[in-house]
Structure 1
C-alpha cells in the first residue's frame, strides 16, 4: 500500500478560524498535490468529513468518472451547526446553502454512498430525491481491532474487576456538552445511598470542569474523575470496571448519530449501559449487550445502573459475549471491507 501525505494546517481547537484553515488547507494541498496518488486507479473510497474533501475528490476523479465510494461520516452543514461553530445571520445562510449544494453534487457524482447510521439514508433521500435508493448502503465504521479486544485479556486472570461486592460504571471518552453527562450525575445522586455502586468518568473536554464543580457542590462521593488517558491505555482502564456507559444528549440531530464508541465497546466484550436515542439505541438493543434508556431521564438511568449492578457476573459476561459476537458478525473491519468492495464492483458492472 502506498501512502501519500499532503501538508495541512493542524487545528482541532474550538477556534472557528483555525478549523476553517484546517479544512481548507487540506482541500487545497490535496487538490494540487494529490493527483499522482489517484492516477490510474479503478475506484476511490473517500472518508467524507469534512465537506472540503469534495474539491480534491471531484477534481481527481474527473467529477466522478472514476467510481467513488463516498463514506458519509457526518451530515453537513448539520454537524457544524450542532457544534456551535456555524456563523449566524446572512453569512450563515449563504454558507449553509453553499454546503448543501456541494453535498448534493458530491453524492450525485458518487457511484455508491455509504452511511454509518441507518436513518441517514432516509435523510439523504429526503433531501436529494434525485439520488437512487439503490446506491446508498449501510456500512458502519469498525473499531481499531488491534486495540479493542475482549477486556478479559487485560485483567491478568483476576476473577473480579474491583473489590468484592462493589460495582463500578465507567464512562471513557470526550466530556463535552453533547455527551449529556449531567444526567449521569443526577443518577449518581439518586443512588448515593447505595454505597457499593460507584461511577468513574475518564477523559477530558470542555464540560469537565463544570461537572467536577457540580460533583463537589452536591457532595457526590460516589463519582470520581480520572482525567485524560492515552488511547492505548483505554482497554486496561476499562478492564477495571464492571460495565461501560455510552451517552449522548437528546437533540434531534444526535438521533441520526451512531457514536464510534459503540463499536469499540462491543468489540471489547463489556456489558453496556446506554443513555442514547435513535440509531445508537437501536444498535445497542440489537447487540444484546446493553440496557438502554432515553437521554435526560435520570430516574431511568439510575434504575438501569441498579439493575446492571444487581446482575450476577455470569449474566453480565453473557451480555458482553453477545455484544462481541454481534460486532464480529455485523460491524467488523472484515464485514465493512467486504460490503465496500462488493458495492463498488456492483456499480462498476452496471
Structure 2
C-alpha cells in the first residue's frame, strides 16, 4: 500500500500502520522516521555501590526507531521501575567499554521469534584503548560504561568515572529538543535545541547558537597615541590591541560599540573607531573610517562612544573587532582610558 491511514478503516489496520501514525506527532529525522530519544528526566544510571559490577537504571520512557525497514515505524518503550543491570567481569589484562541499550525485538523484521523490548548490556572487546560496541538495529544507546581490567564483584567498576551519558532526547513535532547524547545531530536545517538555557539552530552541518553571547573586552589602563592614522596599539599602557572575538550569528549581523574616557591638547581631536577582521584569514572586513568613529575636542576630559551595525558576515564564522585610535595632529597626544569594545549579535 502506498497511502496509509490510521483509525480510519473499519478493519485491517496493522501494527505498522499504528506505529507510523503515532510517529507523526514526534520530532522527525526523515520522511517516515521519528527522532529517537528519551523523555527528559528518566533512565538515569548509577552504581549500586562505590565499586561493584551492578548498576541501577531509574524509570523512564524512550522512543526506539525501527531501523530494519523504512516503513517499520517506531516503538514507545516504558521502563516502569528501577532495574538492576549486571556487567560481566573485566578482562584480566585490558579494559573494555560496554553499551547500555534499550532494544526492541520484533520477529516480523528480525526473525528473532520475539515480540518484546529489553534492557541490554552489550560487552565491548577488551583493547588498549577500548572502543564501544556497535549499536544493533532497532535499539537506542543510553550509556557507555568503562570496565577496567580485572574488574569483578570483589574489585568492581569505579562508577564515579566509568559512566558516559549517551542519552539523546526527543520532543513532539515542532518542539525544541533538549541537548544530549553523542549522536545528537539535527534532522533538518532550522531545527532548534536547548543547551543550558540557550537556543541552538542546526545549519545542516553543526549546531550553532541562534543568538551568540554578547562579547565585551574592557581595559581600565591609560594609553595615548600621537599618530594621525588609526593605530591599534597605544603607548604607555597594556591591553593593546583591545580585541573582541565573536561568532557571527545566523542573520550575519552584529552591532559593534567602542568607547573610552578621552583627553586631547588644545583644539585638536582624539578619535576612536574599530576594524573588523575574519579571524582565520586575517582579512579586513570593515576598515576604520571617520564616519564610524567617536571624537572629542576641547579642554578637560570626556567620555565618547559610537555604535555601528556590521552585516554580511558568514554565520558560524569567527571574527574580531579591534579598537583603533588617532590624533588629529602629529606629535599631539590623544589620550584614552577605560576603553571597551562590545559586540552584540542581531537576532
TM range (shorter): under 0.3
TM-score (norm 1): 0.22
Structure with a larger share of its residues in helix: 1
The structure with the greater share of residues assigned to strand is 2
State which structure, 1 or 2, has the greater radius of gyration over its C-alpha atoms.
2
Q: Give the alignment's TM-score, normalised by structure 2.
A: 0.23
